[in-house]
Amino acid sequence: MAYQNLISELKENILYVTINREKALNALNKDTLAELADVIAYADKTDEVRGVILTGAGEKAFVAGADIKEFSDYNGKQGEDLAKIGQNQVFNAIENSPKPFIAAINGFALGGGLELAMACHMRIVADHAKLGLPEVTLGLIPGYGGTQRLTQLVGKGKAIEMITTASMITAPAAEKIGLVNYVVPQPDLISKAEEILNLIKQRAPLAVSAAIKAVIAAVNNNNGYATEIEAFGKCFETADFKEGVSAFVEKRKPNFSGK
Ligand code: CAA
């Protein structure tokens, strides 16, 4: 797929998506958000895609936030629309995707950039990266789900501290508070994400999607236990359940079909 602001490549069932606006530190303008919405929809519906690695071009920034220059003359209604459309089409779409998304944070993840990383199902961060939600320095608050997802990930106290002080934190500090899964040296960033997705690729695809859905239901207060019960039951109807159990009994590796 050819995009103006993204590089997207499917290799060995992993979709690599790079936000490619390096001169603007990969800031999210409207066009980039629209392209992200498109690539997420592609990942959702394409069986060959077993997981997505989302990163930013260069080594300076993952994403330095929403494009500040684009909304500098917005009024309240336009601001609300920006948040609503962005949340629905990109941030919530990633979180609700049946495919696991990993953010490979290669540098600054600020504002909408950290919000994008937090919408992903897992986060790996390069050891030089800095993370923060600096919106209050602009007279704003996070609008792409940051107040909710940061609170879910690190708890109310740390979330309020980070958002109201606008302080950036280091990669090790982010790992310590549970904001990221792993800190690695920059050269190992993509291979660490691949290591995780290569394990997931060996598992039953529908069960992986069901597990993500149930976990996300928990953090979004969306009938988590009931979601789990229903998804658990549906797994018994899959060919992959039969295959997984047969493989166990026959002491061989399962060959999942995703059906
Ligand atoms: N939007 C638009 N352009 C941006 C940008 C952003 N969020 N962040 C950086 N850029 C641009 C700069 O304007 C600059 O462009 P020019 O060369 O044309 O002037 C270029 O990227 C390089 O940036 P700097 O010169 O500022 O680089 P630096 O090394 O001095 O500083 C930085 C790096 C600390 C990340 C700094 O760029 C910065 O603070 N950026 C803004 C971070 C921010 O406030 N993000 C939150 C945005 S609001 C938001 O995201 C709202 C929401 O929740 C929906």
The ipTM (two decimal places) reads 0.98
pLDDT tens-digit profile of 41-91? 999 999 999 999 999 999 999 999 999 999 999 999 999 999 999 999 999
How many Cα atoms are found within 13 Å in the side-chain-facing hemisphere of 85?
A: 15
Residue 114 has pLDDT above 80, yes or no: yes
Nearest-5° Cα angle at 169, 84 to 103: 55
Range 234-239 average pLDDT: 98
Residue 1 confidence class, pLDDT cut points 50, 70, 90: confident
Distance 112 CA to ligand 1 centre (A): 11
Residue 221 confidence class, pLDDT cut points 50, 70, 90: confident
Give all domains of the chain, ordered by start, each with its CATH number: 6-200 (3.90.226.10), 205-250 (no CATH)
Ligand 1 pocket test: which of 68, 72, 131, 162 has the largest number of ligand atoms within 8 Å of its C-beta? 68
Ligand 1 pocket test: which of 25, 63, 135 has the largest number of ligand atoms within 8 Å of its C-beta? 25
What are the C-alpha distances in Å from 180 to residues 128, 176, 202? 14, 8, 24
Residue owning the nearest CA to atom 32 of ligand 1: 64
Range 26-50 average pLDDT: 98
Distance 256 CA to ligand 1 centre (A): 45
Answer yes or no: is the C-beta of 142 below 6 A from any ligand 1 atom: yes
Answer yes or no: is the C-beta of 107 below 6 A from any ligand 1 atom: no
| Average pLDDT of the chain, as a whole number | 97
Radius of gyration of the chain (CA): 19
Distance 135 CA to ligand 1 centre (A): 11
Structure tokens at 174: 């982010």
Neighbours of 242 (CB within 10 A): 13
Instruction: Give residue 109's pLDDT.
Output: 99
pTM of the model: 0.98
pLDDT tens-digit profile of 172-210? 999 999 999 999 999 999 999 999 999 999 999 999 999
